C-alpha cells in the first residue's frame, strides 16, 4: 500500500499499519447524504444572496450612506464596506474553525446561519447619511463585519461537513453542489434587486430605490434565515468527525489523528495552507470579479444600465450553477491538478478578450464577455471545496480549511472590487482589472505544481467512504494494488 500523504506527515505515521477490512469503510446512507447536502448548502445560498444584494446595490447605497462625499469617493467608501466584511473573515475562521473541530461541524453551522441572517436584516433597517451623517457608514461597516465573521466559519464548515459525508469517488460532485447553491444564492440576490428596482421605480418613480426601496432585498433575508435555520437544524453530525472525536491523545499517536489548536495547525500544515491560499486566491479573484465587481465596472466604465447587468449576471450564474457539478465530475475522473491547470491557463487566455467584448457596449458583448470569465471560474470553483478538505486531516480539517479559505478569499477575493476600481482610477486603464486577475492565475499554476493529487482518495485521517457495500469489499481485496489506499492515514480499530 503506497503512501499518499504529504511528506511533512509521514514521520508521524506508524511503520506497520493494519490492513483495511470492508467493515472499516463507511457506506453512505443516500437519503441522509442528500439531507446533509441541503442542510449545509442553505448557508452558502444565504451568504451569496447577501453578496449579490450588496454588489448590485453598491451605487444606490453609495447615495444613501455617503451623501455629500462626492460620487467617486462615495463609491469607494461603499465598496470598502464590501471589502471590510472579507477582512474580518479570517478572524471568524480562526475562532470558529477550531471550535468546529472541538464541538462539531453542525453546532457551529447553526450559529453562523443565525448570525448571518440577523446582520443582513439589520442592514435593511439602518438610517441613511441624511439622518445620522457619518454614523450611517460606521453602522454599515459594523454589520458587514458581523456578516464577515459568521461567513468565516460558514463555508469552511459546509465544505468540511459535505466532504466528510460524500463518497470518496464522487466527492468533487457533492461538494461542488455547495457552490452551485452559492451561485443560485447570488443569482437570487441579483434577481431580487432587479425585480425590486423595476417594480419600485414603476410605482414610485426613478428615485424609489434611493428613497427606501433598497431595504426590501435586505429585509427579505429574514424569511431566508428562518427557513435555512429550520432546514439545518434537521441534519446530523458527519460520521468521520464522530469517529475522530473519540481519539484520545497518547504517546505514539500520529499527529494527523490529534485535534490541534490554531498555532499547531499552522506549524504542522503550513505547506498545505500556502498551496491552498494560492489556488483559492486565484478562484477568488476570478469569481468575485464576475459576481461582485462587474456590475460596478459595467455601469461606471461602459455605461450599461443596472437592469441589463443584473439580468445578464443572473443568466450567467444560473449557467454556472449547472456546469459546476459537470466540471467536478470530470475532476473526479481525471484529477484535481489537471483541472486547476486548465482553469489557470484558460484565465490567461480569455480575460483580455472578455474585456474587449465588454467595450463594444452591446448586449451580445456583455453576455459573451461574462461567459468567457465564467468558463475558467467554473473550473476553479467546481473543485475548491473538495481540494481544501483533502488538504487537511479530519481532526483539524475545519480549522485548516477555515484559515486557508478565509485568508485567500479575504485578502484576494474580497478586495477585488475595491482594488480593481482603485487601479482603474489611478491608471486610467480600463483593462487593468483583467491583468490583476491574471496575476493570481500565474500563482495558481506554480502552486498546483506542488499540489498532491487527491481525487478519489480517502480523506486524510478518515476511513474510506463508499457508495455501496460491494465497493467496500472491492477496496479490501484490491488494497495492495490500489495507490489511493494508505491505511497509515486511517482510523482503524
Measured between alpha carbons, how far is residue 316 from residues 311, 322, 371, 374, 377 in Å? 9, 10, 7, 7, 11
Tens digits of per-residue pLDDT, 83-115?
788 788 888 888 888 888 888 888 888 888 888
Residue 8 lies in a domain: no
Instruction: Kindly tell me the burial class for residue 288, based on how many C-beta atoms sit within 10 Å of its own C-beta (0-12, 13-18, 19 or more).
Output: buried
User: Residues 388, 44, 315, 439: what is their CA dihedral angle, to the nearest 10 degrees?
Assistant: -40
1 has a pLDDT exceeding 90:
no
C-alpha span between 405 and 66 (Å, rounded): 31
Residue 9 lies in a domain: no
Mean pLDDT of the chain: 85
C-alpha span between 71 and 80 (Å, rounded): 14
Residue 70 is part of a domain; what is its CATH number? 1.20.1250.20
Work out the average pLDDT over 275-280: 94
Question: Residue 61 — pLDDT band, cuts 50, 70, 90?
Answer: confident
What angle (nearest 5°) sits at the alpha carbon of residue 78, between those of residues 119 and 301?
135
Using DSSP, state whether 402 is helix, strand or coil: helix
Work out the average pLDDT over 401-424: 85
244 has a pLDDT exceeding 80:
no
C-alpha span between 326 and 379 (Å, rounded): 10
Question: Within 13 Å and on the Cβ side, how many CA atoms surround 71?
Answer: 4
Question: Within 13 Å and on the Cβ side, how many CA atoms surround 424?
Answer: 20
C-alpha span between 391 and 397 (Å, rounded): 8
pLDDT score for 5: 43
Range of the domain at 160: 26-237+255-462
The distance from CA 400 to its chain's CA centroid, rounded to whole angstroms, is: 14
Q: Which of these, 482, 409, 466, lies nearest to 165 by C-alpha position?
A: 466
Residue 268 lies in a domain: yes
Give the 3-state DSSP-derived string for 31-43, with helices as H, strands as E and coil as C.
HHHHHHHHHHHHH
- Cβ–Cβ < 8 Å for 398, 97: yes
Work out the average pLDDT over 273-293: 88
Place of cell 444564492: 185
For 9, the grid coordinates are 506527515
Question: Residue 327 — pLDDT band, cuts 50, 70, 90?
Answer: very high
5: left (phi over 0), alpha (psi -120 to 50) or beta: beta
Query: Which residues, including other chains, have CB under 8 Å from residue 442's CB and lie 6 or more apart?
Result: 344, 348
In the chain, how many domains are there?
Answer: 1
Residue 16 lies in a domain: no
Tens digits of per-residue pLDDT, 180-202?
988 888 888 888 888 898 898 88
Question: Residue 319 — pLDDT band, cuts 50, 70, 90?
Answer: very high
- Cβ–Cβ < 8 Å for 159, 279: no
485 has a pLDDT exceeding 90:
no
**pLDDT-above-90 percentage for the chain:** 29
What's the pTM value of the predicted model, to 2 decimals? 0.82
Q: Which of these, 104, 400, 394, 149, lies nearest to 277 by C-alpha position?
A: 400
pLDDT score for 4: 43
pLDDT score for 8: 53
First to last CA, the chain: 18
Residue 488 lies in a domain: no
Residue 45 lies in a domain: yes
Question: Residue 449 — pLDDT band, cuts 50, 70, 90?
Answer: very high
pLDDT score for 57: 84
Residue 243 lies in a domain: no
Residue 456 lies in a domain: yes
pLDDT score for 136: 87
Using DSSP, state whether 26 is helix, strand or coil: strand
| Lowest mean per-residue pLDDT among 104-118, 132-146, 304-318 | 304-318
Note the maximum CA span of the chain: 75
User: Residues 140, 141, 145, 146: what is their CA dihedral angle, to the nearest 10 degrees?
Assistant: -30
C-alpha span between 241 and 244 (Å, rounded): 5
11 has a pLDDT exceeding 50:
no
pLDDT score for 479: 84
Amino acid at each position: 500500500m503506497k503512501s499518499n500523504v504529504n511528506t511533512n506527515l509521514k514521520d508521524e505515521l506508524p511503520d506497520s499499519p493494519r490492513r483495511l477490512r470492508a467493515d472499516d469503510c463507511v457506506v453512505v446512507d443516500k437519503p441522509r447524504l442528500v439531507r446533509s447536502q441541503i442542510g449545509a448548502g442553505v448557508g452558502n445560498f444565504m451568504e451569496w444572496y447577501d453578496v449579490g444584494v450588496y454588489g448590485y446595490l453598491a451605487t444606490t447605497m453609495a447615495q444613501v450612506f455617503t451623501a455629500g462625499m462626492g460620487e467617486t469617493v462615495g463609491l469607494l467608501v461603499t465598496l470598502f464596506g464590501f471589502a471590510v466584511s472579507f477582512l474580518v473573515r479570517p478572524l471568524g475562521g480562526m475562532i470558529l474553525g477550531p471550535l468546529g473541530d472541538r464541538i462539531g461541524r453542525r453546532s457551529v453551522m447553526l450559529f453562523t446561519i443565525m448570525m448571518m441572517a440577523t446582520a443582513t436584516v439589520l442592514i435593511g433597517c439602518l438610517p441613511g447619511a441624511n439622518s445620522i451623517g457619518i454614523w450611517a457608514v460606521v453602522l454599515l461597516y459594523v454589520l458587514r463585519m458581523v456578516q464577515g465573521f459568521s461567513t468565516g466559519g460558514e463555508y469552511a464548515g459546509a465544505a468540511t461537513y459535505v466532504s466528510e459525508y460524500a463518497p470518496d469517488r464522487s466527492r468533487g460532485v457533492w461538494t461542488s453542489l455547495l457552490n452551485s447553491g452559492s451561485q443560485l444564492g447570488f443569482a437570487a440576490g441579483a434577481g431580487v434587486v432587479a425585480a425590486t428596482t423595476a417594480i419600485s421605480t414603476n410605482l414610485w418613480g426613478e428615485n424609489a430605490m434611493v428613497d427606501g426601496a433598497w431595504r426590501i432585498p435586505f429585509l427579505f433575508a429574514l424569511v431566508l434565515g428562518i427557513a435555512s435555520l429550520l432546514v439545518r437544524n434537521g441534519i446530523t453530525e458527519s460520521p468521520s468527525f464522530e469517529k475522530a472525536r473519540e481519539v484520545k491523545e497518547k504517546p505514539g499517536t500520529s499527529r494527523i489523528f490529534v485535534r490541534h489548536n490554531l498555532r499547531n495547525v499552522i506549524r504542522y500544515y503550513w505547506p498545505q495552507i500556502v498551496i491552498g491560499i494560492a489556488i483559492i486566491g486565484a478562484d477568488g479573484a476570478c469569481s468575485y470579479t464576475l459576481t461582485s465587481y462587474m456590475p460596478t465596472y459595467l455601469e461606471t466604465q461602459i455605461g450599461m444600465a443596472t437592469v441589463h447587468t443584473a439580468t445578464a449576471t443572473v443568466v450567467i450564474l444560473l449557467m454556472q450553477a449547472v456546469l459546476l457539478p459537470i466540471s467536478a465530475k470530470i475532476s473526479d475522473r481525471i484529477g484535481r491538478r489537471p483541472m486547476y491547470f486548465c482553469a489557470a491557463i484558460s484565465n490567461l487566455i480569455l480575460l483580455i478578450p472578455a474585456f474587449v467584448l465588454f467595450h463594444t457596449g452591446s448586449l451580445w458583448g456583455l453576455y459573451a464577455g461574462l461567459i468567457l470569465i465564467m468558463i475558467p471560474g467554473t473550473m476553479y470553483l467546481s473543485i475548491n471545496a473538495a481540494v481544501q478538505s483533502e488538504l487537511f486531516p479530519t481532526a483539524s480539517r475545519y480549522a485548516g480549511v477555515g484559515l486557508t479559505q478565509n485568508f485567500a478569499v479575504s485578502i484576494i477575493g474580497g478586495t477585488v472590487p475595491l482594488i480593481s476600481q482603485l487601479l482603474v482610477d489611478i491608471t486610467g486603464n480600463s483593462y487593468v482589472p483583467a491583468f490583476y486577475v491574471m496575476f493570481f492565475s500565474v500563482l495558481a499554476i506554480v502552486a498546483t505544481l506542488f499540489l498532491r493529487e487527491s481525487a478519489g482518495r480517502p480523506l486524510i485521517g478518515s476511513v474510506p467512504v463508499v457508495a455501496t457495500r460491494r465497493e467496500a469489499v472491492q477496496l479490501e481485496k484490491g488494497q495492495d494494488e490500489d495507490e489511493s489506499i494508505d491505511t497509515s492515514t486511517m482510523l482503524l480499530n
